[in-house]
Homo-oligomer: A and B are copies of this chain.
Amino acid sequence: MDTQNAAQATKMLSDLALIRSKAPLIHNITNYVAMNPTANALLAVGASPVMAQAIEEVDQMVSISSSLVLNIGTISVSWMESMIKAGEAALIKKIPIIFDPVGAGATDFRTIACNKIIDTCTPSIIRGNASEIMALNDNQTETKGVDSTASSDAALDAAKALALRTKAVVVISGETDYITDGTQVNSIPFGSTMMARVTGMGCTSSAIVGAFAAVNPNMLEAATNAMLIMGIAGQLAAQYSKGNGSLQVNFLDELFNFDDKTIARI
């Protein structure tokens, strides 16, 4: 690990210690596919996940939460309304909103949903794969379903432009992860291509970003630290996983035990 990544890792461990001591409540309105692994990943790092989407309670659930994660993976009109209501409550409470635009660009419905969430909730952090970030930036249909067809490098300019326009920190997951506020760009060289073969791994990243944003008010730092722990845990777990089944399990175990000795193994 180079000097810069090592310095970042030290900061990350400090945030991780805060997550473990505070056990912040992370309110997720997310998709059916990723709910279970997302909740387990949050528990693995020491956060306390809650999944709740009824429009009658989302504002009250936000009122006791430390961050809000919105994910449109299996979006419907009624869930959209709950996300907007939760987002408005989070804005008033001034807790971070993390937005995961799953499948942005794949359908007009998703594009419209993304724009509405960005406009009304003004998320603190937007995390997607390259295709999604590029689609969000130019509002054109470029994605194929929910898996990226572009490299993260190709999406970096789009990420910067999106960050400047929305005032959100933008994260691109990929072979290299990029985290930018539109001017500064952090990059994370860790991870494994096998991670893209575990469903909901991107969604899990967004939830972990939510955990770090709950304890670190600097959104660029929080998102960077979250992607760093994801990348290191995923890369190490992939080294001894036979397939995507065992990777899903081993990845959680790595998060669960993550400490300075984990970093020394990279």
A: residues with CB less than 8 A from B are 23, 25, 27, 31-37, 39-40, 43-44, 48-54, 56-57, 60-61, 64-65, 73-77, 103, 106-110, 144-147, 196-200, 241-246, 248-257
9 chain-A/chain-B pairs, Cβ below 8 angstroms: A25-B144, A36-B36, A39-B200, A40-B244, A49-B199, A57-B108, A244-B253, A245-B250, A246-B252
Closest beta carbon of chain B to A209's beta carbon, Å: 18
Partner of A31 from the list B51, B76, B241, B254 (CB cut-off 8 Å) is B51
Contacts of A43 in B (CB 8 A): 196-199, 244
Contact between A39 and B33 (Cβ–Cβ < 8 Å)? yes
Contacts of A60 in B (CB 8 A): 106-109
Partner of A51 from the list B32, B52, B251 (CB cut-off 8 Å) is B32
Q: With A and B bound together, what is the CA distance between A145 and B145 in angstroms?
A: 33
Q: With A and B bound together, what is the CA distance between A141 and B143 in angstroms?
A: 43
Partner of A200 from the list B36, B57, B242 (CB cut-off 8 Å) is B36
Q: With A and B bound together, what is the CA distance between A173 and B33 in angstroms?
A: 24
Contacts of A200 in B (CB 8 A): 36, 39
Nearest CB in chain B to that of A25: its residue: B145
Contact between B256 and A44 (Cβ–Cβ < 8 Å)? no
